[in-house]
Amino acid sequence: MLKYLLMVMFLIPLSGLNKESWWLVQLNKFILIFILICSMSVMLFTENISMMFGCDMISYGMILLSVWVSNLMLLSSQKIYDSLYDKLFLMLILLLMFLLMCAFMSLSLLMFYIFFEASLVPTLLLILGWGYQPERIQAGIYLLFYTLFASMPLLISILYIYNCYGMLIMMSFYSLENISFLFYLSMIMAFLVKMPIFLFHLWLPKAHVEAPVSGSMILAGVLLKLGGYGIMRVFVLMYSICIYYNIIWIIISLLGGLMISLLCLCQIDMKSLIAYSSVVHMGLVVSGLMTMNHWGFYGSYVMMIGHGLCSSGLFCLVNILYERMGSRSMLINKGMLVIMPSMGLWWFLLSSSNMAAPPSLNLLGEILLINSIISWSDFSMIMIALMSFLSASYSLYLYSYIQHGNLYSGMYCYMGGYFREYLLMFMHWVPLNLLIIKSDMFLL
């Protein structure tokens, strides 16, 4: 695994050379993706072990997602390329990608914790440096304090595990006996806030609305998945106690998902609607993981990858409109089918994927998660049905409100998209819908 990390590490100083290094770095990142895909393993056990780094199937999917999304971040940030601080921006994205790869490759729980926390810093700098409104400072503080507040108990718990086992290798964990509710809470709380679960989600819409397009893409695409990945790794330790207490999180996730689906229907800002829809999807993922069965485990894995691509693509589309109109309000962005007809297709394709229409990965993930949650309790069927219906409602609301309706009177010109933007949407949509052909790979 060190060869991939070294490749990214040597790209970081390259980013400060000159204006052309932007494209050189991008080319190298595509080569990295190609090498990763070629060396992809479908084994259940860990391989490529070196210097406390290694990979299994779950890590592979997450690493590929991180590199793919961070590549698309550069493709979407043309405005920053034309600005003064493009080299700094490039360096931050490479650093963030490096930290995320380290987090997903770590075999030791302590190393995972360190990289999990370190990935906050570049994200914070992205929001503070390239965000839109002055409120970005408040959004950055929300992001920092929510995450750090929940992370401190996790560190203490990790040290306690080290005290019990004498080592922190994730793959060799087995269930601890006689552990308290407090230990269980402190182990998973940091990951639940990062996901984020309902009640701890306030930082997410704020951070998304204030972040630049690249910040939103990496937040929705990869950083939320760190939480799910962490829960997958630490559940092995607490199997005996999870059976008793997981019901709390399932109830909170399902009720919260329902409430936030309703909240999505009264959003005016496109970005905050997509941000809230992320909370709904992550609610499903948490519920599926907490049922502690195979369907839930695989379903949440598929859903995390599908949501990472779909949500990221929707944020790009919003940014394309924002660059033309100077506003993200649905009241101003109307009748876009007349102004940008070709973009209407991409809006439709990604909105439909967002509501889990076939053949997207979201559909596969939702089928697995619904099976998992309903097998846990029949009563949850009511919540699931309402959430599925409402997720279709707000996706259609988003699409129809922007594409149809009366034109904003200040806007009477035709705008085609750039080739770069169509390529960007294509690279979001194709893996999201073609990976379902190889779905056996996701079911480990």
Mean pLDDT of the chain: 92
| pLDDT grade for 444, boundaries at 50, 70 and 90 | low
Percent of the chain with pLDDT over 90: 78
The answer for residues whose C-beta is within 8 angstroms of residue 372's C-beta and 6 or more apart is 288, 291, 293, 295, 296, 299
Q: What's the confidence (pLDDT) of residue 188?
A: 94
The distance of Cα 142 from the centroid of its chain, to the nearest Å, equals: 18
Q: Which residue has the higher pLDDT, 1 or 209?
A: 209
Q: Which residue has the tokens 């691509």?
A: 309
Q: Which residue has the higher pLDDT, 426 or 239?
A: 426
The secondary structure element, H or E, covering residue 228 is helix 224-234
| pLDDT grade for 178, boundaries at 50, 70 and 90 | confident
Q: What's the confidence (pLDDT) of residue 412?
A: 65
Tokens for 317, please give them.
């589309």
Please check the confidence at residue 409 and state whether its pLDDT lies above 70. Answer: no
| pLDDT grade for 47, boundaries at 50, 70 and 90 | confident
Please check the confidence at residue 301 and state whether its pLDDT lies above 90. Answer: yes
The secondary structure element, H or E, covering residue 395 is helix 380-403
Q: What's the confidence (pLDDT) of residue 179?
A: 86
CA distance 300 to 369: 7
Instruction: Summarize pLDDT for 72-90 with one digit per residue, the tens.
Output: 999 999 889 988 899 999 9
Q: What angle do CA 88, 193, 117 make, to 5 degrees?
A: 40
Beta carbons of 43 and 391 less than 8 angstroms apart: no
Q: What's the confidence (pLDDT) of residue 19?
A: 83
Instruction: Summarize pLDDT for 2-39 with one digit per residue, the tens.
Output: 899 999 999 999 988 888 899 999 999 999 999 999 88
Q: What's the confidence (pLDDT) of residue 50?
A: 85
**What average pLDDT does range 263-268 have in this prediction?**
95
The pTM of this model reads 0.96
Q: What's the confidence (pLDDT) of residue 42?
A: 65
Half-sphere exposure of 220 (CA within 13 A, CB side): 36
The answer for residues whose C-beta is within 8 angstroms of residue 267's C-beta and 6 or more apart is 273, 276, 330
CA distance 15 to 33: 18
| pLDDT grade for 177, boundaries at 50, 70 and 90 | confident
Please check the confidence at residue 434 and state whether its pLDDT lies above 80. Answer: yes
Instruction: Summarize pLDDT for 330-346 with one digit per residue, the tens.
Output: 998 988 988 888 999 99
Q: What's the confidence (pLDDT) of residue 176?
A: 83
| pLDDT grade for 186, boundaries at 50, 70 and 90 | very high
| pLDDT grade for 66, boundaries at 50, 70 and 90 | very high
When mean pLDDT is compared across 29-43, 122-136, 380-394, the lowest value belongs to: 29-43
CA distance 414 to 338: 8
Q: What's the confidence (pLDDT) of residue 98?
A: 97
Q: Which residue has the tokens 């909170």?
A: 252
Angular region, 335: left φ>0, alpha ψ -120 to 50, beta rest: left
Please check the confidence at residue 414 and state whether its pLDDT lies above 90. Answer: no
Report the chain's terminal Cα–Cα distance, integer Å. 20
Residue whose C-alpha is closest to residue 274's, from 346, 212, 351, 335: 351
**What average pLDDT does range 162-171 have in this prediction?**
90
**Amino acid letter, 53:** F
**What average pLDDT does range 381-393 have in this prediction?**
96
CA distance 81 to 159: 44
